[in-house]
């Protein structure tokens, strides 16, 4: 018999439904059991008939009962036999072993080296840009205004290429600031560099094909490509950039950071650039040009892109993570229209499209001049911090004991040690002394180069001087 508990917070119909389902699934109401007519059961329980009708309708819709005008409502054949509790497994299916994934995530965390659960006074992170309340205020303004101005059409399923007004703003920016002139359908919005690389692997490569990466280089590039089943071949980097002559003949894609080589910080020389462009045409492979922080150059204008010289087989990656903030997760791939169309098709299948609000906000942020004003402001901040970094390294004598590189462009420098130096011991010693530095070895695949990648974007000038002096006490 069913019962009603007036102190139960659940609705009465829910109480009765739960009891009825329990009676059926435990066999208390066997198959063929005739349920009382709704009017009669309502009178017995002291509830309205409509409440019982809701219960019976739910039992029927869930397949527990069947109803006919002649025989009333009966319990259907219930074939499921519950297993005794002691035989029921205490856990669900075990996820498959994914050693490649586990290794990749572990390497990624090691590279970021920000996961240690201890406080540091000075963090020379090369991964994060400068952010302040002024930026936050302007971003909030764009968010609120973009929210108010957008129409309902923006909230339907969107364009896999990305929000059209945002792509138009990026198109104008590239044309004016980087000398890249493209149609908006040559621009695909993504949610970060790793997302961009993953799309490229899915859309333009077959599993097992050979991909060349810089060594030292950008760990996310080779970790993502390896996870997608590519044959990743590291190519050494020297003072002139990627050693192009060492690219394998079967190469299908070369990932490069020519304007400020990731980790080492060198600029790819013009002869090497021309050599790479010529070889890619001759052997028909893709060049992926990651232009992650070349906007911040301390001598002259940003360098010309490879894409502007050879757009037919170059994919140009730009990211607002370094230019604005990592948290907005917006990047773009610029390339030949056919290749971008293929990437958009993969994006449409796997992601459908990116969240609209961040795209709306960034489009407004650029259109109303906040982005360019932000860039001018942070360039001044970075110039001061870059100068503080190089002066401190020189003043402490670190520049005489170690090789300072990557000082012309970007948001980090390299302090390179001899290959026999105990890089890890010093890194841990610095951490114990409240300073986080980023070892070069975490950027290496096969290279045995040693040193530290020192970012300065988030560190105030006084802290830079203090941190470098304390580092010198450990090193010298």
Q: Which of these CATH numbers, 3.10.50.40, 1.10.4160.10, 3.40.50.1110, 1.10.10.10, describes 12-75?
A: 1.10.10.10
- DSSP character for 82? P
Q: What is the pLDDT of residue 116?
A: 55
What integer pLDDT is reported at residue 154 of this predicted model? Answer: 81
**Core vs surface per residue 217-234: b (16+ CB within 10 A) or e:** bbbbbbbbbbbbebbbbb
Cβ(441)–Cβ(450) below 8 Å: yes
What does the pLDDT read at residue 86?
A: 61
CA atoms within 13 A on the CB side of 340: 25
Phi, psi dihedral angles at 80 (to 5 degrees): -75, 125
Classified as helix, coil or strand, 290 is strand
Q: How many CB atoms lie within 10 A of CB 207?
A: 10
- pLDDT tens over the chain, length 476 residues: 799 998 888 999 999 999 999 998 888 999 989 999 999 988 988 999 999 999 999 999 999 999 887 778 899 986 656 556 565 556 778 888 888 888 888 877 777 765 555 678 999 999 889 999 999 999 999 999 999 988 888 888 889 999 999 999 999 999 998 889 999 999 999 999 999 999 999 999 999 999 999 999 999 999 999 999 999 999 999 999 999 999 999 999 999 999 999 999 999 999 999 999 999 999 999 999 999 888 888 877 778 899 999 999 999 999 998 899 999 999 999 999 999 999 999 999 998 889 999 999 999 999 999 999 999 999 999 999 999 999 999 999 999 999 999 888 899 999 999 999 999 999 999 999 999 999 999 999 999 999 999 999 999 999 999 999 999 999 88
3-state secondary structure of 452: strand
The burial class, CB within 10 Å (0-12 / 13-18 / 19+), for 238 is exposed
Q: How many residues are there in the chain? A: 476
Bridge partners, residue 212, by sequence: 233, 254
Q: What is the DSSP string of 291-348?
A: -SSTT-BSSSSPPPPHHHH-TTSEEEEEEHHHHT-GGG--EEEE--HHHHHHHHHHHH
pLDDT of residue 301: 75
Helices and strands (H and E) in the chain: how many: 17, 16
Q: In the sheet that 403-405 helps form, which strands lie side by side, from edge to edge? A: 403-405, 412-417, 450-455, 438-439
Q: What is the pLDDT of residue 158?
A: 85
- pTM for this model (two decimals): 0.85
CATH of domain 157-358: 3.40.640.10
The tally of CA atoms less than 13 A away on the side-chain side of residue 423 is 20
| Contact between 385 and 407 (Cβ < 8 Å) | no
Tokens of 387: 């100068």
Distance between CA atoms of 268 and 290, rounded to whole angstroms?
A: 13
pLDDT recorded at residue 447: 95
> Is residue 305 a contact partner of residue 180, using CB atoms and an 8 Å limit?
yes
Q: Distance between CA 139 and CA 135 in Å, rounded?
A: 6
Angle subtended by helix axes 219-227 and 193-204, to nearest 10: 40
**d(Cα 104, Cα 172) in Å, to the nearest integer?**
37
| Count of CB atoms situated within 10 Å of the CB of 280 | 22
How far apart are the C-alpha atoms of 360 and 257, rounded to whole Å? 29
Please state, in angstroms and rounded to a whole number, the distance separating the CA atoms of residues 10 and 173.
58
If we measure between CA atoms, which residue out of 155, 152, 251, 169 comes closest to residue 210? Answer: 251
Based on the number of CB atoms within 10 Å of its own CB, is 178 exposed (0-12), middle (13-18) or buried (19 or more)? buried
Give me the pLDDT at residue 113, please: 65
| Main-chain dihedrals φ then ψ at residue 247, nearest 5 degrees | -65, 135
- The answer to whether 380 and 132 have CB atoms below 8 angstroms apart is no
Closest to 449 (Cα-Cα) out of 231, 224, 246, 234? 234
**Helix (H) / strand (E) containing 4:** none
Structure tokens at 405: 């590189």
- Domain boundaries, given as residue ranges, for the chain: 12-75, 157-358
Sheet-wide strand order for 286-290: 187-190, 331-334, 314-319, 286-290, 251-256, 210-215, 231-238, 241-242
């Amino acid at each position: 018999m069913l019962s009603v508990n007036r102190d139960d917070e659940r609705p009465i119909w829910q109480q009765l439904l739960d009891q009825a389902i329990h009676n059926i699934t435990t066999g208390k109401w066997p198959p063929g059991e005739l349920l009382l007519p709704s009017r009669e059961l309502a009178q017995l329980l002291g509830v309205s008939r409509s409440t019982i009708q809701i219960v019976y309708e739910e039992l029927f819709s869930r397949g527990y009962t069947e109803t006919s005008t002649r025989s009333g409502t009966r319990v259907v054949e219930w074939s499921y036999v519950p297993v005794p509790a002691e035989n029921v497994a205490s856990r669900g299916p075990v996820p498959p072993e994914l050693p490649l994934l586990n290794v990749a995530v572990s390497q990624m965390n090691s590279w970021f080296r920000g996961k240690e659960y201890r406080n540091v006074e000075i963090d020379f992170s090369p991964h994060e840009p400068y952010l302040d309340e002024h930026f936050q205020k302007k971003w909030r303004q764009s968010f609120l205004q973009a929210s108010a101005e957008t129409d309902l059409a923006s909230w339907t399923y969107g364009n896999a290429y990305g929000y059209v007004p945002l792509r138009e703003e990026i198109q104008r920016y590239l044309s004016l600031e980087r000398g890249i002139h493209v149609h908006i359908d040559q621009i695909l919005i993504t949610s970060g560099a790793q997302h961009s690389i993953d799309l490229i692997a899915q859309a333009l490569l077959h599993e097992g094909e050979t991909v060349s990466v810089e060594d030292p280089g950008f760990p996310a590039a080779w970790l993502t490509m390896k996870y997608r089943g590519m044959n990743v071949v590291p190519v050494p980097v020297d003072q002139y950039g990627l050693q192009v002559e060492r690219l394998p003949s079967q190469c299908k894609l070369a990932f490069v950071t020519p304007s400020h080589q990731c980790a080492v910080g060198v600029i790819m020389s013009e002869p090497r650039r021309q050599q790479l462009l010529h070889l890619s045409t001759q052997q028909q492979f893709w060049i992926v040009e990651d232009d992650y922080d070349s906007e911040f150059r301390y001598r002259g204008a940003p360098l010309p892109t490879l894409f502007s010289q050879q757009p037919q087989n170059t994919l140009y990656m730009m990211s607002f993570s370094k230019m604005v903030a990592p948290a907005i997760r917006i990047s773009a791939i610029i390339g030949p229209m056919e290749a971008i169309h293929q990437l958009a098709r993969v994006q449409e299948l796997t992601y459908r499209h990116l969240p609209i609000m961040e795209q709306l906000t960034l489009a407004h942020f650029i259109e109303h001049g906040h982005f360019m004003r932000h860039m001018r402001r942070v360039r001044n901040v970075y110039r001061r911090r870059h100068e503080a970094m190089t002066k401190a390294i020189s003043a402490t004598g670190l520049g005489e004991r170690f090789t300072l590189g990557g000082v012309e462009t970007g948001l980090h420098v390299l302090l390179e040690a001899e290959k026999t130096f105990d890089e890890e011991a010093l890194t841990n010693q610095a951490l114990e002394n409240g300073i986080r530095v980023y070892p070069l070895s975490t950027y290496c695949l096969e290279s045995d180069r040693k040193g530290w990648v020192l970012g300065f974007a988030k560190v105030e000038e006084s802290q830079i001087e203090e941190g470098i002096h304390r580092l010198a006490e450990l090193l010298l």
